[in-house]
Structure 1
Amino acid sequence: MSILEQLQQVNNAIAAIEIGGQEYQIGSRRLKRADLSLLYQRQKELQGQLEAEKSDGFGLANTSVAIFDRR
C-alpha cells in the first residue's frame, strides 16, 4: 500500500472519530475506534514521508543555501 493510500485511510479514520465519536454501543455490541492521538501521530509521519518523496529524498525541498564570501 502506498504512502498516499495509507494517509487517506488514516484521514478517513480520523474523520470517522471526529464525526461519530471514539466509542459507541448499540444494545450489547460495542465499537471502539483507534486512539485519536495515535492516528494524529501516524498522520504526521505519513505526511512527512510524502513530502520527502516529493522532494529530493532528503526532505530538503524548503531549504536555502547562503554562501558568505569574505571579499
Structure 2
Amino acid sequence: MNSIKIIGAILILVSIGFGYLGFNKVADNTAEVKFLGLKIDASNESGKQQGYIYLGLAAILLAGGIYTINKSKK
C-alpha cells in the first residue's frame, strides 16, 4: 500500500468522524414541543449551524478521500 492510499483512507475516516459529530450536533440543538395545539420551536440556531458546517466538511473530506484513492490507481 502506498502513502497516497493511506492518506485517502485517513481522509475518509476523518470524514466519517465529522459526519457523526455534525449529525449529533444538529440533533441535539433541535427541539420542538407541541402544547395545546401550538408548536413551540426551542432550537439553538447557532448550534445547528455548527452541525451543518461539520456535515459540509465531512462531505468535502469524503470526496477528497475518494478522489485521492481513485487517483492513486492510475
TM-score by length of 2: 0.46
Structure in which a larger fraction of residues adopt helix: 2
Over alpha carbons, which structure has the higher Rg?
1
TM-score under structure 1 normalisation?
A: 0.47
